[in-house]
């Protein structure tokens, strides 16, 4: 009996057991093992010492600065990233392919180089900084610089998750809505937005997670002043440099917990949106 195309596709790669074994082994070595090591280091502290470290004034200030800057950068990324994806999928113009390629630049560019570039642009004597400083807008060595670095390194997540969904969205659905008398904003709100919402949530979540863990691009432009512009990633690095591994693990566990909670809430919301979409 001849094999079907589905059977042939299944046999192109190794069998399920081998494929799953390789994937799980790689996942355990790259992801689970570091997490377990961090959990062991954190557990060695005890609850009292752990709480003392994560609630220290310097730690709380770093959490506040990191989360506030990441949230602000994510909000900007959500709006600008959606507009980028819309422009790249709905319009044809000279330089479109170049702009599309530049979206991936933060992925390819080392974060330290990104930080140096931002300093060159926004330092008091930089290309933009020399004009912004007299206006009272301080970017370099200020919280605004942290937001700029996080924005630069995380915007591709929103664009690259929303863009494929917009490209696959059939124009016939929009034309049908227009033929029924829907206005442009109604077409977007009632036809397009429900379709791209799961991808949009995924992109913004990944952008936020990338922002709270960003290090290289931020340390060059932040100024790294304790209680003012010191992010949690830098404080973790300082604790590691002091060979205080349990304290570094305790600080890292807070960021990890925030990222996990956010991913859980986002996945739950995505699942609910998809269930409603199937019902409709």
Mind listing the pLDDT tens digit for each residue in 156-212? 999 999 999 888 877 777 777 777 777 777 778 778 888 888 889 889 998 998 999
* Whether 122 and 217 share a structural domain: yes
* Whether 60 and 186 share a structural domain: yes
Q: Tell which wins on pLDDT, 105 or 279.
A: 105
* Whether 140 and 2 share a structural domain: no
* Whether 196 and 146 share a structural domain: yes
Residue 221 neighbours by CB under 8 Å, 6+ apart: 115, 118, 119, 122, 139, 140, 141, 145, 146, 148, 149
* Whether 19 and 135 share a structural domain: no
φ/ψ (deg, to 5) at 244: -95, 70
Tell me, what CATH number does 95's domain have?
1.10.3720.10
Give the per-residue pLDDT at 56: 93
* Whether 37 and 112 share a structural domain: no
Alpha helices for 103-170 (secondary structure H): 105-108, 111-122, 129-132, 143-168
Alpha carbon distances (Å) from 271 to 3, 180, 224, 263, 277? 36, 30, 40, 12, 10
- As for how many domains the chain has, the answer is 2
Give the per-residue pLDDT at 1: 45
* Whether 130 and 265 share a structural domain: yes
* Whether 58 and 172 share a structural domain: yes
* Whether 20 and 146 share a structural domain: no
* Whether 119 and 4 share a structural domain: no
* Whether 22 and 56 share a structural domain: no
Domain span at residue 11?
1-43
The pTM assigned to this predicted structure is 0.82
Q: Return the C-alpha torsion angle 63, 68, 71, 74, nearest 10.
A: -100
Residue 270 above 80 pLDDT? no
Residue 77 above 90 pLDDT? yes
Segment 119-145, tens digit of pLDDT: 888 988 888 988 988 888 888 888 999
Segment 201-250, tens digit of pLDDT: 889 998 998 999 888 889 888 888 889 999 999 999 999 898 888 888 89
Pair 219, 230: CB distance under 8 Å: no
Give the per-residue pLDDT at 67: 93
Mean pLDDT of the chain: 84
């Amino acid at each position: 009996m001849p094999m079907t195309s589905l059977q042939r596709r299944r046999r192109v790669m190794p069998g399920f057991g081998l494929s799953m074994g390789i994937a799980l082994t790689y996942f355990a070595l790259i992801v689970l093992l570091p997490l377990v090591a961090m959990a062991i280091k954190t557990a060695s502290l005890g609850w009292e010492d752990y709480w003392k470290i994560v609630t220290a004034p310097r730690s709380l200030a770093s959490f506040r600065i990191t989360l506030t800057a990441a949230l602000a950068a994510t909000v900007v990324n959500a709006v600008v990233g959606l507009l980028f994806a819309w422009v790249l999928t709905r319009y044809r113009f000279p330089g479109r392919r170049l702009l599309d390629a530049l979206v991936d630049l933060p992925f390819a560019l080392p974060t330290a180089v990104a930080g140096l570039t931002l300093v060159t642009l926004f330092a008091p004597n930089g290309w933009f900084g020399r004009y912004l400083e007299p206006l009272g807008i301080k970017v370099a060595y200020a919280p605004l610089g942290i937001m700029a670095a996080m924005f630069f390194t995380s915007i591709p997540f929103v664009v690259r998750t929303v863009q494929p969904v917009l490209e696959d969205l059939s124009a016939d659905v929009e034309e049908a809505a227009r033929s029924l008398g829907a206005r442009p904003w109604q077409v977007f709100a009632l036809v397009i937005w429900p379709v791209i919402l799961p991808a949009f949530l995924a992109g913004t979540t990944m952008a936020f997670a990338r922002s709270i863990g960003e290090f290289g691009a931020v340390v060059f432009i932040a100024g790294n002043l304790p209680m003012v512009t010191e992010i949690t990633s830098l404080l973790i690095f300082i604790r590691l440099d002091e060979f205080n591994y349990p304290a570094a693990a305790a600080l890292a566990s807070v960021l990890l917990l925030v990222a996990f909670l956010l991913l859980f809430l986002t996945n739950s919301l995505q699942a609910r949106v998809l269930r409603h979409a199937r019902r409709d």
